[in-house]
Structure 1
Amino acid sequence: MTAAALGPAADTPSPARRRAWMRSEEARGLAMISPTFLYALAVLFLPVLIVIAYSFWTQNYLDIDRTFTLENYRQALTEPIYRDLFVRSLWISLTVSVVTVAFSYPVAWFISFHGGIHKNLWLFLITVPCWTSYLLRVMSWKVILGYGGVMNTGLISIGIIDKPLTSLLYNSNAVVITLVHSWAAFAILPIYVSLQKIDRTLIEAARDLGDSRLKAFFRVTLPLSLPGVISAFLIVMIPTVGDYVTPRLVGGKDGVMIATAIQAQFGKAANWPLGAALSVTTMVLVSLAAAAVVLALKFTVRRIR
């Protein structure tokens, strides 16, 4: 006799089966991840939904008009000032990511392949700057690049320049330099982990088959470490687009990024819906740019091989 013939009661699990399921590995696994999932939902997902909801509303003085509208997105995408800030923010973020990964990869490669028994010491030294406040690290670069700072003083002392340069600070180059230094450790670590997982016998096999060290690197080491490179790139790129402190302190008017405009809308302008629309637009643009970069990296490595 089928379950349908027996009626709805046949589809209901018995108390014994329910108790058995509660003691199963599946139930324990769900019980273990449920608090974490709920916490992530409350802390990450719900705030994003609130921001998205605000982006479709309108600010009427001190009140919020909850009538659906796309006017905020029209301003975000058509106003020249916001377009320029989007382009500048993406350009600075991409530049910082490329430079950071380019400098971090050799460091991670050296530690992984030639660190020997001192690998942990090297990793410890790399993370030491992260022990200090992010604000203090940004301020230190303001002192280094300033008119009477370490850089100008050093260049004058060795005779390269006659008077201090004013072009070292308060521009997009200062923002790039500061962000590269601040995020270098976060790029080195995922690349190092990816390099550590590479089976060294694969490199030896490539060398035995006639590849030079350089060719073996491009055919074996680089492709196998690509997940670490992609992780490092995204770890650097995504936060730097929305960085507010660094452009504020060392960027000047030429280094202003979109986060400054977003802060202004949520602050003095008191236009939360427009600020939310700028935030959502930034998230979408960053996601598209990140996806394009990942595909470009994979295609480039595939062509190199």
Structure 2
Amino acid sequence: MQTEPAVETSDLTKCYGKLLAVDHMNLKVNKGEIFGLLGPNGAGKTTTIRMLTGLTNPTSGAARITGRDCVRERLAVKQRIGVVTEESNLYGEMSAWDNLMFIGELYGVDKPTRTERSRQLLEFLQLYERRDDLMLTYSKGMRRRVRIAAALVHRPEVLFLDEPTSGLDVQSSRLIRSLIRELNEEGVTIFLTTHYIDEADQLCGRVAIIKQGKIVADDSPQKLKFTLHGEHLVEVAFGGNVSDVEAVLGKHPLVKDIVKHGDKYQIHTANPSAVIKEIVQYALSNGLEIISVNTKQPSLEDVFVKYTGLDAVQVERMEFRAMKAGGRRV
């Protein structure tokens, strides 16, 4: 007998006035998956999570969590999910310990259970020694860790994480990724959004890419990489002024696509050896120096660039903004 998906949407749509934020989204996330939703800023990631977690109602369509309708069975859904978004539900004037005990009580968790659960979470997240300090004294990374602990104190079946490591230090990011893996091993379904493409590649068994409210790709990272033109990328950097490399090499029958990546060009091809010969000939004909040339397998970032229409520099800026993002909430 087939089990209910952990998360399922049917033509899920959200409009803000004339703005179509999420456009007839059809999505299934199986129980036990680590699922990543990727997309540029404003693509609809956060709006999707807000609908799935009952923070806003869809304009049309439906969403279900473990078979429960997110609108008609909102309370049942909230009992089964944990949510970490930019909208904090913690109190800076309270200690981390008191926050977790308070949240656990709101979910109806008995005192012995929430006491033990809070201890386990704070120990794993390396915050137990500071459990009695006020949240206002914590760093941003420490506050994020407590917010994740608060979302887990009632042992949810599905955990929603909206940009869980955005703007955090290396230690906090590693701890959060380790916790995500451990929770998944315990059977918790993880639904996360992230601007960090490598993070999604490392963590997620499946990712979907959203562009202007629509899902444009949905598969495992490995399978998505094989959807690119050809199986290889040739990356080349030239010395001097280069103005027509895309026009000239792009006409070659073995070249499927050319993408400028900073000061380098990435050439999609199924025959890298032949393309490298063409690159050398192009450089000789134009008096150019080849600074570097190498071949590599397509990355998830390359897939993201293809499906979103962003160039690699824009992706780097997107990740940099996420890294520098600052939150005022605790």
Compare CA radii of gyration and give the structure with the larger one.
Answer: 1
Larger relative strand fraction: 2
TM-score range, shorter chain: under 0.3
Q: Give the TM-score, by structure 1 length.
A: 0.25
Q: Which has the higher contact order (CA 8 A, sep 6+)?
A: 1
TM-score with structure 2 setting the length: 0.23
